[in-house]
Structure 1
Amino acid sequence: MFWRSKDILQFPEWALVRGLYKSMGYSDEDLSRPLVGIANSWNRVVPGHYNLNLVSDSVKQGILQAGGTPVEFGVIAACDGIAQGHEGMHYILPTRDLIANDIEMMIGAHRLDGVVLLASCDKIVPGMLMAAARMDIPAILVTGGPMEGGCEFDGRKADISALTEALGMLKTGRMTAEEYRHLEDCAGPGCGSCSFFGTANTMCCLSEALGLTLPGTATIPAIRADRQRAAQESGRQIMRMIKEGVTARRIINGKSIENTIRLNSAVGGSTNAILHLLAVAYEADVELNVDKFEELSRTTPLIAKIFPAA
């Protein structure tokens, strides 16, 4: 097994690098194993990323179990929902490319052998997929999971977008201020990516179709124990990929991107997926244009109607 970090961890020639790692508590044993980056976009601003520190802990367990050394670093994340309706929205799309650049720099500067990407929300997931395709090292994306539905609203479980809908009801006298306040308190009952099929949950599902997320894990709710087990298995899986030399571009290719486009059409995913998949394809050196989306959508049946497409 070849790994990139080994070249800069040889004793005694690279004692300076080893000494810097040892200043943080890493041992000789730690430095004898592949260094696996964990690009963690946790913060206390974005609901979909609020649980990523717990997810990261489980990823680390999996990496250690499989013979690697996890090295975690932070990545920015901004919330589309909180940024809406004011000048903050001008900052949101540029964060995608900033995230891709940030991860590239951390991987390149430290010669990391693989990377586990932790994200849930709109621009962060595609930014991380772009970084994986650009760097072409073993990479796996672990999502934080969707928020569960909230209290009952208009005959269904509420989600955060219900607050916008209900504002009209409040202003036309169909809802009292007290009822609206209650909805505000319970529309989002816990952390996770917003519980409707917007860009965040779309991109998490598409990362499965692309092949960079473990099958069946994108829709595990954020607060479920299965979310942690999936993260731990992802840690073990990245080590298998490193040992077998499976890099991102062996997964992200023309066929997997077509599969991803078909899934988006089949489930009525976000139209923002077009913007993001074009960027991911570019980073992977895969030729793709908007005509391909039109072509594939015309031969792909709609098999699921999910709010808000329903």
Structure 2
Amino acid sequence: MSFKPAEWPRKLRSQHWYGGNSRDTIYHRGWLKNQGYPHDLFDGRPVIGILNTWSDLTPCNGHLRELAEKVKAGIWEAGGFPVEVPVFSASENTFRPTAMMYRNLAAMAVEEAMRGQPIDGAVLMVGCDKTTPSLLMAAASVDIPSIVVTGGPMLNGWFRGERIGSGTHLWKFSEAVKAGEMTQDEFLEAEQAMSRSSGTCNTMGTASTMASMAEALGMALSGNAAIPAVDSRRRVMAQMTGRRIVQMVKDDLKPSDIMTKEAFENAIRCNGAIGGSTNAVVHLLAMAGRTGIELTLDDWDRCGRDVATIVNLMPSGKYLMEEFFYAGGLPVVLKHLGEAGLLHKDALTVSGESIWDEVKDAKNWNEDVILPVEKALTQQGGIAVLKGNLAPLGAVLKPSAASPHLMQHRGRAVVFEDIDDYKARINDDALDIDETCIMVMKNCGPKGYPGMAEVGNMGLPPKVLKKGITDMVRISDARMSGTAYGTVVLHTSPEAARGGPLAIVRTGDFIELDVPNRRLHLDLSDEEIAARLADWKNPVEPPASGYARMFHEHVEGADTGADFDFLKGCRGSEVGRDSH
């Protein structure tokens, strides 16, 4: 570790607002005193912004108001001055057309809230999956001391004696209804059992994945990722996080000290070991872009290819986050990576210690949940990055959630021009499709949807489901929920709406998927592809105005993180002159 704490005491950022007795200082300080704060709170102690993504319309984060009180307690105990700040909260299960469309808006809004207000450090209170990357993107852009505390996962779901995962079983039960294996009444009964406590999805979906990524990056205290939302230890974690951020401000320990290239490589390898969501790809690429670190899809394949998936959780395995916590949680996984030579052990964490110092003594209390390598779900987990003439800039697939017999497959394409075309035709028994076909959906990428919705795990046609078939190869430029499963190729880049080769695929064309050799090939000559692209006309109309128009004009491709082109790099914490 090369980090050296700054000298303390020193003039803090908040003192540019609150220090001294000028008219401007009294303007800032005096109005805040109407909340009943005594004068000595403004004497140079660290002001900590608790950036809270609580919202009644973000159910996964619905308990964060109560958790914030524990963060405040920790800040007071450590000699800081806590101020709670509600920030933009995009819920995956309520926002339309997709929460991903608002990740960049949230990151932009939070960045400006951090920079423009008198805070010396920030506690990032997150949960539902887009809130975690959006606040980390903002923190990387501003680069003041920041630390993550997540809301934690829900308790296990149970239905008729079966462990059920939020999201994962929604997809499974929905397919069972279409196949005639489950009644609609049974489906509604199961709904009550899926989400039975506060917290995020209890599978290794995107929310739990991003909580794990925050911990693997070193941006959360060790053990934070897996503690259930309603466990008292989650509240203890929040209070300890409040204590820690005060010392981080005193030491001037910033995201740029922690979110290094080595830290991102640790996170990528961790994602492979936990069977994490494909959504982590676009989020980590975007976060790295905010730090100015060059991180690419090639890094994802290079770092993740030889990592065994050892966490036996849905959708890849059979357990849920509750069992993962009881087994020892993410520290056990990181310790395994370190012992296997797959961890940059000296990477710094928000604790001020190296990541190895944090995890080296972790114990695995259940080897059926966190598996020995010889019993891994798949020996080559990670995220497979596929390239070829159908995806010149790359596409991704999650091997641990795919069917082994489909990892090398050649099939006839059945093409859907967009999500509406898919919905209109998929249930038609006249659709010319069987289990050997490859389902292709276009115009669902960052520009095409817009926002790149989680529609890539297209449900299979009922005529195929009724044969007992549960998986087919599916290819699109969309995303997939982290709770979903199947042999699904996602994030195909360039997307169809940018004129990528996906745009010219026709029903009847043959496609070859070869995951071991990382190949995605459209069986057409270069001349035929060029001719079709020359005749192609973009069916996607730009939105007329508003944020949707800005998103369409400035969003980059999935292969670089789908951030806005004008938000790359760290802009720092300096703010314009005072106008008062």
Q: TM-score, normalised by structure 2?
A: 0.51
Contact 1:99 1:128 in 2 (8 A): yes
Contact 2:67 2:235 in 1 (8 A): yes
Contact 1:38 1:56 in 2 (8 A): yes
Cα distance, 1:265–1:17 mapped onto 2, change above 3 Å: same
Q: Structure 2: how far apart are the matches of 1:294 and 1:8? A: 47
Aligned pair count?
A: 305
Contact 1:122 1:200 in 2 (8 A): yes
Q: Structure 1: how far apart are the matches of 2:183 and 2:281? A: 40
1:27 counterpart residue number:
38
Cα distance, 1:10–1:146 mapped onto 2, change above 3 Å: same
1:94 counterpart residue number:
101
Contact 1:80 1:89 in 2 (8 A): no
| Aligned partner (choices 4, 8, 30) of residue 17 of structure 2 | 8
Contact 1:266 1:304 in 2 (8 A): yes
2:73 counterpart residue number:
61
| Aligned partner (choices 255, 261, 275) of residue 268 of structure 1 | 275
Q: Structure 1: how far apart are the matches of 2:274 and 2:250? A: 35
Q: Structure 1: how far apart are the matches of 2:160 and 2:42? A: 54
Cα distance, 1:71–1:150 mapped onto 2, change above 3 Å: same
| Aligned partner (choices 258, 263, 266) of residue 256 of structure 1 | 263
Cα distance, 1:279–1:120 mapped onto 2, change above 3 Å: same
| Aligned partner (choices 157, 180, 187) of residue 180 of structure 1 | 187
Gaps spanning 5+ residues in structure 2: where?
1-8, 318-580
| SS of the residue 2:49 aligns to | strand
Contact 2:173 2:182 in 1 (8 A): yes
2:70 maps to a residue whose letter is: S
1 or 2, which has the higher helix percentage?
1
Output one character per residue of 1:80-118: Cα deviation in whole Å (capped at 9) or x when no partner: 2334xxxx134x213211222122212211231000000
Greater RCO (CA < 8 Å, at least 6 residues apart): 1
Q: Kindly state the Cα deviation for residue 292 of structure 1 after the two structures are TM-superposed.
A: 0.5
| SS of the residue 1:115 aligns to | strand
2:129 counterpart residue number:
122
Output one character per residue of 1:111-138: Cα deviation in whole Å (capped at 9) or x when no partner: 3100000011221100111111111111
| Aligned partner (choices 279, 286, 297) of residue 279 of structure 1 | 286
| SS of the residue 1:221 aligns to | coil
Q: Structure 1: how far apart are the matches of 2:111 and 2:126? A: 16
Q: Does 1:52 align with 2:59?
A: no
2:152 counterpart residue number:
145
Deviates more, 1:259-268 or 1:25-34: 25-34
Percent identity over the alignment is 37
| SS of the residue 2:94 aligns to | helix
Q: Structure 1: how far apart are the matches of 2:184 and 2:294? A: 53
Q: Structure 2: how far apart are the matches of 1:268 and 1:186? A: 24
2:340 counterpart residue number:
none
1:96 maps to a residue whose letter is: R
Contact 2:88 2:110 in 1 (8 A): no
Q: Structure 2: how far apart are the matches of 1:43 and 1:79? A: 9
2:37 maps to a residue whose letter is: Y
| SS of the residue 1:105 aligns to | helix
2:141 counterpart residue number:
134
1:295 counterpart residue number:
302
Gaps spanning 5+ residues in structure 1: where?
none
| SS of the residue 2:233 aligns to | helix
Q: Structure 2: how far apart are the matches of 1:260 and 1:158? A: 24
Deviates more, 1:49-58 or 1:295-304: 295-304
| SS of the residue 2:39 aligns to | coil
2:515 counterpart residue number:
none
Deviates more, 1:263-272 or 1:144-153: 144-153
Q: Structure 2: how far apart are the matches of 1:122 and 1:89? A: 16
Cα distance, 1:136–1:127 mapped onto 2, change above 3 Å: same
Q: Kindly state the Cα deviation for residue 158 of structure 1 after the two structures are TM-superposed.
A: 4.2
Q: Runs in 1 of length 4+ with deviation above 6 angstroms?
A: none
Q: Structure 2: how far apart are the matches of 1:50 and 1:197? A: 20
Contact 1:152 1:158 in 2 (8 A): no
Q: TM-score, normalised by structure 1?
A: 0.93
Contact 1:35 1:68 in 2 (8 A): yes
2:164 maps to a residue whose letter is: K
Q: Structure 2: how far apart are the matches of 1:308 and 1:89? A: 24
1:24 maps to a residue whose letter is: Q
| SS of the residue 2:228 aligns to | coil
Contact 2:210 2:280 in 1 (8 A): yes
1:40 counterpart residue number:
52
Q: Kindly state the Cα deviation for residue 179 of structure 1 after the two structures are TM-superposed.
A: 2.8
